[in-house]
């Protein structure tokens, strides 16, 4: 979770328990519903296309995805949903960006405020921390999914295809690009029969910071609590792994 999207960490966990999977499906359902408000054709609506691809990467059933899109098209549920973005300071003064989708912003804000207060964190003024991050397109590729490619070749391929930066996190290559180039980069890998683990827009910290072991443990507990919140979709920090 440290320094990047918490979705990335979840994707690598095998055999998610039913309760956890159900919660993830609920969040993905909201993501699809709110994306579909801008149009139900994923070939035209890139936000919806990303949401559907992310749902499929978690093995969300196709009929569940279709129902979420149809509900949004019919004006059901999705009209009540709103997106939010909060900035917060966590243990060790790490910066955190929290993204979410909710049907009640006041409730969501109070819940997140309580989570932060109980775990040595607090809300920050809007815009006071966002400058420490840049929104980037992030494409992830796992060596496990592409056994015929070695690390050096994959990294070189990413650079040749226009990556701005590449970071190895264990056996997963995290490739950063300009937001508008995300789909183009993904399609380039698809054209070379390289399997993509995920492709989405994320907030990337300009610089990751180290904290004490106590603060790091406290931060991980804070991240777990945010992850458990129904309204929180994603969060990012500048905590160094």
In this structure, of 11-20, 101-110, 115-124, 161-170, the range with the lowest mean pLDDT score is 11-20
Domain limits, the chain: 6-79, 82-131+216-237, 133-205
Which pLDDT belongs to residue 2?
A: 41
Give the contacts of 63 (CB within 8 A, at least 6 positions apart).
none
Q: Which of 183, 239, 181 is nearest to 210 (CA)?
A: 239
180-196: b (≥16 Cβ within 10 Å) or e: ebbbebbebbeeeebeb
Q: Over 80: is that where the pLDDT of 8 sits?
A: no
Query: β-strands 122-123, 95-102: how paired?
Result: unpaired
User: DSSP secondary-structure letter at 154?
Assistant: H
What percent of the chain has a predicted confidence (pLDDT) above 70?
Answer: 90
Q: 68-97 pLDDT, tens per residue?
A: 888 777 765 556 889 999 999 999 999 999
Q: Over 80: is that where the pLDDT of 63 sits?
A: yes
CA 146/CA 143 separation, integer angstroms:
5
Q: Over 60: is that where the pLDDT of 125 sits?
A: yes
Q: Which of 29, 34, 32, 66 is nearest to 49 (CA)?
A: 32
Q: What is the mean pLDDT of the chain?
A: 87
Q: What is the architecture, at CATH level 2, of domain 6-79?
A: Orthogonal Bundle (1.10)
Same topology, domains 6-79 and 133-205? Answer is no
Select from 3.30.70.980, 3.90.1150.10, 3.40.190.10, 3.50.50.60 the CATH code of 133-205.
Answer: 3.30.70.980
In degrees rounded to 5, what are phi and psi of residue 222?
-65, -45
Q: What is the architecture, at CATH level 2, of domain 82-131+216-237?
A: 2-Layer Sandwich (3.30)
């Amino acid at each position: 979770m440290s320094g990047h999207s918490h979705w990335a960490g979840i994707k690598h966990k095998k055999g998610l328990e039913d309760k956890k999977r159900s919660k993830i499906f609920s969040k993905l359902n909201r993501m699809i519903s709110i994306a579909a408000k801008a149009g139900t054709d994923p070939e035209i609506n890139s936000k919806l296309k990303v949401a559907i691809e992310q749902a499929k990467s978690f093995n969300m059933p196709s009929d569940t995805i279709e129902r979420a899109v149809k509900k949004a098209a019919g004006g059901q549920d999705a009209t009540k949903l709103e997106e939010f973005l909060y900035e917060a300071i966590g243990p060790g003064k790490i910066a955190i960006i929290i993204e979410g989708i909710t049907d009640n912003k006041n409730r969501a804000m109070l819940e997140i405020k309580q989570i932060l207060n109980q775990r040595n964190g607090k809300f920050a003024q809007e815009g006071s921390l966002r400058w420490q991050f840049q929104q980037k397109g992030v494409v992830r590729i796992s060596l496990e999914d592409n056994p015929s490619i070695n690390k050096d070749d994959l990294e070189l391929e990413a650079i040749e295809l226009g990556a701005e930066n590449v970071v190895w996190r264990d056996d997963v290559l995290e490739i950063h690009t300009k937001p508008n180039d995300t789909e183009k980069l993904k399609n380039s890998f698809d054209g070379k029969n390289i399997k993509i683990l995920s492709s989405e827009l994320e907030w990337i910290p300009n610089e990751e910071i180290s904290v004490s072991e106590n603060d790091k443990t406290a931060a991980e507990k804070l991240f777990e609590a945010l992850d458990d919140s129904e309204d929180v979709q994603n969060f990012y920090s500048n905590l160094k792994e």
